Chains A and B, each alone.
Chain A
Amino acid sequence: TQLLEQSPQFLSIQEGENLTVYCNSSSVFSSLQWYRQEPGEGPVLLVTVVTGGEVKKLKRLTFQFGDARKDSSLHITAAQPGDTGLYLCAGGGSQGNLIFGKGTKLSVKP
């Protein structure tokens, strides 16, 4: 069974701080996606990483895919209140669906 574990489960920080959230699995994934979900809305895709060791940057967000394609991290520099939300990682399941982690709930206080 393919599982994705995310840590930490909850994170509360002050505006301007840096943070890293993690997504780990014992399985190899051909790609991993990161989504952000705000209350009352569906998840929105932030990035897809496909190559082991790949690093992608999206403004203040840096995504890394592990060399063995079993793990990924999301680093946010100088967090803003607008970064508040639930961050979900997802990997492609064998049936064509996405397998989601349980998410990291981030709260950035002004």
Chain B
Amino acid sequence: GAGVSQSPSNKVTEKGKDVELRCDPISGHTALYWYRQRLGQGLEFLIYFQGNSAPDKSGLPSDRFSAERTGESVSTLTIQRTQQEDSAVYLCASSLRRYNEQFFGPGTRLTVL
């Protein structure tokens, strides 16, 4: 079966523009996570969806960041009025259930000029 996919793989944008990143999780996985990874750094938790429960948004760095998920399928991460410090790889992961092994997508490399 297919793994986690993300699109686009690369995104270059100008400061102040909005961007939308997409994640297609593995079918049947109820949990979905977004992380940010700056160059040479570990993974920074952003947001977590579990089934139809309210998402855990505790990792979102500012109100310019938001994410949605439709049921147990696709998720989109939106960054409004992008800043240069938003440049990073954004990774999505899904797992069968909370606390299970997470399967990661290849990430979206965002560059804000």
Q: Which residues 30-89 of B have a CB within 8 angstroms of A?
A: 31, 33, 35, 40-45, 48, 50, 56, 58-59
State whether A40 and B106 are in contact (beta carbons under 8 Å apart), knowing that A95-B56, A97-B45 are contacts in the complex.
Answer: yes
State whether A103 and B106 are in contact (beta carbons under 8 Å apart), knowing that A42-B93, A95-B48 are contacts in the complex.
Answer: no
Q: How many interface residues does chain B have, given as a range? A: 20 to 34
Q: How far is the CA of A42 from the CA of B35 in the complex (A)?
A: 11
B104, A103: Cβ atoms closer than 8 Å: no
B107, A48: Cβ atoms closer than 8 Å: no
Flag whether B96 is at the interface (Cβ < 8 A).
no
Which chain A residues lie closer than 8 Å to B41 at the CB level?
A: 102-103
In the complex, residue of chain A having the shortest beta-carbon distance to the beta carbon of B109: A40
Contact code string B14-40 (vs A, CB < 8 Å = 1, else 0): 000000000000000001010100001
Pairs of residues from A and B, 3 with the lowest C-beta to C-beta distance, nearest first: A42-B104, A102-B42, A100-B43
A98, B56: Cβ atoms closer than 8 Å: no
Instruction: Report the minimum CB–CB distance from A101 to chain B (whole Å).
Output: 6
A97, B104: Cβ atoms closer than 8 Å: no
User: A: which residues have CB within 8 A of B?
Assistant: 6, 30-31, 33, 40-45, 48, 88, 90, 92-93, 95-103, 105
B106, A101: Cβ atoms closer than 8 Å: no
Flag whether B112 is at the interface (Cβ < 8 A).
no
Flag whether B11 is at the interface (Cβ < 8 A).
no
A42, B42: Cβ atoms closer than 8 Å: no
In the complex, residue of chain B having the shortest beta-carbon distance to the beta carbon of A41: B106
In the complex, residue of chain A having the shortest beta-carbon distance to the beta carbon of B44: A100
In the complex, residue of chain B having the shortest beta-carbon distance to the beta carbon of A89: B42
28 CB contacts below 8 A, A to B, read: A30-B99, A33-B101, A41-B104, A41-B106, A41-B107, A42-B4, A42-B93, A42-B104, A42-B106, A44-B104, A45-B102, A48-B101, A88-B43, A92-B99, A95-B48, A95-B58, A96-B31, A96-B50, A96-B98, A97-B33, A97-B48, A97-B59, A98-B33, A98-B43, A99-B45, A100-B35, A100-B42, A102-B42
